[in-house]
Each structure stands twice: as C-alpha cells, then as structure tokens.
Amino acid sequence: MTDTIPMHVTRYRPEQETAPTVEEYEVPLRRDWAVLDGLNYIKDRQDGTLSYRWSCRMGICGSCGMTVNGEPMLTCATFLTEYKPGPVRVEPLSNFPVIRDLVVEIGDFLRKLPKVMPWIVRDTEKPTAEGEYLQTPDEQDAYKQYSMCINCMLCYSACPVYGLDPHFLGPAAIALAQRYNLDSRDHGAADRLELLTHPDGVWGCTLVGECTRACPKDVDPAGAIQRYKLTAAMQSLKAFLLPRGAR
C-alpha cells in the first residue's frame, strides 16, 4: 500500500457559498510529487470541480503560486514530502481577491506592471541596419538578478503593506523598474522617476523584507526598493542643490 498525505484545500464557490470553506482530500505521497501534482491528482481522480492555475510545472511560468501551510509558494516547486505527515494546507495567495477556489484576481498587478515601463526606453532608436545595442558582461550583471522575475506575485502575497494598502505599487513592479533603470541600453530612468517616487511607490515600502524571502527566483525585491530609495533621495538632493542642466 502506498503512503498518502492529507491535503486541506480551500474552496470558494461563489454560486453556492459566501465565504471560503476547507475540503479535505487524501493524495498519494510520492517522493517526486509537488503540491501541484497533489492538486492535479485531486482534480483528475477525486473532484473535477477544483479550480486553480498552473502551466509549466517547472518554476518559470509563475502561474501556480498559492499559500502552502501559510507561506506563499510556487506549488510546482514545493514537494509534498516536505510536509510529511501532513496535512498540507493549500489556500489562495493572500492579499488578492479570490475568484474561485485557489484562483485569485490579478488585474491589479497586471495594471501596475506596464506603468513602470518594463521595456527598454531609448532617447533615439538606432536603425536596425546598425546592429544590436551591445553590452559587456559587467553591464549585464548590473541588472541580471532583477531580470529573473517571473511575475508569480508571491512577493505581493507576502507583503503586508500591499495587503493593507492595495495602492502600493508593490515589490515585483519596482524590482522590474530597477531591472530597466540599471540596463546600460535604457534611457527611461527619468520617465520612471515620478511613478517610483510617488508615495505609493518606493516610499510606501516599510522594509518588512518578506518579499525577498518569498521570491522563488532570488530577485531580492526588498533590496531593489531600498536601492531605489537611495537613488531617489540623491535625485531630490541634486534637484535641490544643483542648477537646472547640471543634474
């Protein structure tokens, strides 16, 4: 007989209940099974009505973020054996409205993301015929860590500031802004300044540091935010002290 592990999964079916409930399932405990495999087992064999998001199963699409035993995790990269003998509590990501079961509404994040202009902004584009914008390995290193973000939103789920004030721009969006600000090919730092230095931008962060702990890709959003606070403070100081044109 194979080992099993209990999974306590939060259900929310708005057509029949006003608040989430917990349903208990028993799934096989296999060494190579992630929490997501457990959910797939439930959906395939026990209850086809269970709703959740997933796609790649290899920690890169950022779809399967959920709260596992109280911690925001990628369920494809979290193994059932770590929670032996169980139960494994699976809840939707915190700080987001729940649409159904484990599916959260991510519109707020998706609206914030383009605001930081997460693309290379150029003062002047050079013709394609002149070739690529070249970069040294050092120049690439300057932003590479921040480019690892997979938009899984675990950092938003971990951030109490975002939980208390949904207007806060949030860890991933700010880290992504830094990813482009620090790119030698980008000229958009001045365009991003106003949004980032808005009270809902970097100054909203009170350095709890949970975003960095939750990040499955070691992006260190908290570090990115503190680094930008220093940049923003220096900019303000320069704007105050230096004549226009010398800034």
Partner 1 sequence: MSAPPIYTEFHPRWYRKRMGTLWWLHRRSYLVFALRELSCVFIAWFVIFLLLLAHAIGGGNHAYHRFLDWAANPFVIAVNIVALLFVVLHAVTWFNLAPKAIVVRARGRRVPSPLIAGTNYLAWAALSAVVAWLVLRS
Site residues for partner 1 per CB under 8 A = 12, 14-20, 94, 97-100, 105, 138, 160, 163-164, 206-210, 213, 220, 222-223, 226-227, 229-230
Smallest gap from residue 210 Cβ to partner 1 (A): 6
Q: What is the largest CA-CA distance in the chain?
A: 78
- Strands of 75-194, DSSP E: 88-91, 98-100, 103-104
Smallest gap from residue 227 Cβ to partner 1 (A): 5
Smallest gap from residue 128 Cβ to partner 1 (A): 32
Smallest gap from residue 58 Cβ to partner 1 (A): 29
* C-beta closer to partner 1: residue 208 or 239: 208
In this structure, the strands spanning 4-11 and 88-91 are parallel
Task: Report long-range pairs for 230-234 (Cβ below 8 Å, ≥24 apart).
Answer: 231/181, 232/193, 232/196, 232/197, 232/202, 232/203
Smallest gap from residue 224 Cβ to partner 1 (A): 9
* C-beta closer to partner 1: residue 56 or 110: 110
Q: 214: part of which helix (H) or strand (E)?
A: helix 210-214
* C-beta closer to partner 1: residue 80 or 106: 106
Contact criterion met (CB below 8 Å) for 177 and 116:
yes
The residue count for the chain:
247
Going from the C-alpha of 157 to that of each of 79, 99, 102, 194, 212, the distances in angstroms are 20, 15, 13, 25, 12
* C-beta closer to partner 1: residue 160 or 199: 160
Smallest gap from residue 186 Cβ to partner 1 (A): 17
* C-beta closer to partner 1: residue 61 or 99: 99
In the chain, the amino acid numbered 40 is N
Smallest gap from residue 145 Cβ to partner 1 (A): 11
Q: CB-side exposure of 60: number of CA atoms within 13 Å?
A: 2
Sheet-wide strand order for 4-11:
21-28, 4-11, 88-91, 65-68, 71-74
* C-beta closer to partner 1: residue 84 or 167: 167
Angle subtended by helix axes 171-181 and 137-144, to nearest 10: 170
* C-beta closer to partner 1: residue 139 or 200: 139
